[in-house]
Amino acid sequence: MLLKSWQRKWNEENTRRFTYSLISAVSAKVVFPNALNIGVCYCRMLLHDILLNGDVFRTGISDKPQGSCGQDNESVAHVLLHCNKYSTERNVMIDTLTHVWHCSKKHKKWKPDITNNFPTVGKQILI
């Protein structure tokens, strides 16, 4: 009953729609990675509080929303999916996620530990 009420409120809410687009179903079970810094970065990305120029510009701390690449508003989506500056790291991320996806489809309970295989630059982007 509580989850149904929570879900209804989450569906009707007008704010935090970016987070809703990523996680539309509420749940009492929260799963975080073993590495604390990755879990913290994940939460900060969902809350748009990751200290990228797009976020700090919105709060008035930065003069401009563009990142060091100068191409676009520096957001999580831009850095992870579009920025030319991080194309190598993006390819590693996509290859890793593709591998995890294929393995998880074959072996439903397979749980990789990719925390040590993530590129150093990738960690610097998110922290």
Statement to judge: residues 20 and 74 lie in one domain: no
How high is the pLDDT of residue 83? 93
Q: List average pLDDT for each run of 10 residues in the chain, which is 127 residues long.
A: 84 79 75 78 81 88 90 88 92 88 68 48 39
Statement to judge: residues 59 and 40 lie in one domain: yes
How high is the pLDDT of residue 30? 67
Statement to judge: residues 40 and 17 lie in one domain: no
**CB burial string 38-72: b at 16+ within 10 A, e below:** beebeebbeebebebbbbbbeeeebeebbbeeeee
Statement to judge: residues 17 and 55 lie in one domain: no
How high is the pLDDT of residue 88? 94
By the 10 Å C-beta count (0-12 exposed, 13-18 middle, 19+ buried), 102 is classed as: exposed
Q: Which residues share a beta bridge with 73?
A: 66
CB 44 within 8 A of CB 37: no
Statement to judge: residues 60 and 100 lie in one domain: yes
Statement to judge: residues 24 and 63 lie in one domain: no
Statement to judge: residues 117 and 62 lie in one domain: yes
Statement to judge: residues 85 and 118 lie in one domain: yes
How high is the pLDDT of residue 38? 81
Our count of domains for the chain comes to: 2
Structural domain of 58:
31-126
